[in-house]
Structure 1
Amino acid sequence: MTNKKMYFILILVFTLLQVCFFALWKARDGSTTSLECTSTLTRNAKTDHSLYYSANLSVILKKDGSGSFTIVGLTDEDTPRKFSHSYFFTYKIDSNGRISGNAKAKVSGLENQIKDENFRLNFLDASLTGKGNARLSKFNNVYIFSIPGLIINTCAPI
């Protein structure tokens, strides 16, 4: 049983390495297009574990190394609170498909009722800085942008 598990893990790791290699290879190719990735999620806030929210995410990665991250949604409370946060950043993709970058500026909507720090902790700070946990992978013609605990699985060229 142990040998079967080890064999499966080795195949999985090898496949993931291939996907990362092809994503990097395609990203270095001049014909690579910009990508927009979207997702819907429900999760709790890092700064207030009793606060759950549902939101639509949009991540745009441009060929020139700039990008944006937008999250718009509502809390799951008796009286829902609205929020809308947008961030702009520069990024690089390393040979393992890891994305690292720095947020340059942010623009918040007028109806924000949720603190900005919830989203910086959940996504930007955890994903773009430090360990660089955000990844961009490509398998055939499908791009996958992932953040630990969340996969934004619909990526389309723009």
Structure 2
Amino acid sequence: MNLSKLSRQVGERLRGQGLLLTTAESCTGGWIAKCITDVPGSSSWFDRGFVTYSNAAKMEMLGVRAETLGRFGAVSEATVREMAAGALARSRARVAVAVSGIAGPSGGTPDKPVGSVWLAWQMKGQAPVARWYHFDGDREAVRRQAVTAALQGIIGICDRVSPAPD
């Protein structure tokens, strides 16, 4: 699906429910936040984005635990869950999306091949929802598919909650 159209749909859901979004991105390098801020008026529903490409940045900016990174690695369910929680704790947002993956062309392993991406979405006060994907294609294709999945997941999590009170 078209990223511009998806981003507008994300904005409609968030604005309609009075929710602010934050992003915590690794392999997408800020691409989710870029798509969001391409939408005019997004400042009414987007609070901030964290680009935490290195493990040090994940720990310093989002509070991801060294133990989590050491035990599970950056591309893991545990890490993206902590990234989402950290983004919520360090922003005014009520909704977070976090992404970490191996876009390639190198960096893959037998357990985590190129194209492996973990995403997590979290609503403040609720447990995060995390999902693993394996995307095909070159670096750009993997990253684009991760952004698409992230935006679709934001819509999904918004559809499961009731609007904020006036």
Range of TM-score over shorter length: under 0.3
- Looking at both structures, which has the greater relative contact order when contacts are Cα pairs under 8 Å and sequence separation is at least 6? 2
Structure showing the higher helix proportion among its residues: 2
Compute the TM-score of the two structures, normalised by the length of structure 1.
0.27
Q: Tell me which protein shows more strand as a share of its residues.
A: 1
- The structure with the largest alpha-carbon Rg is 1
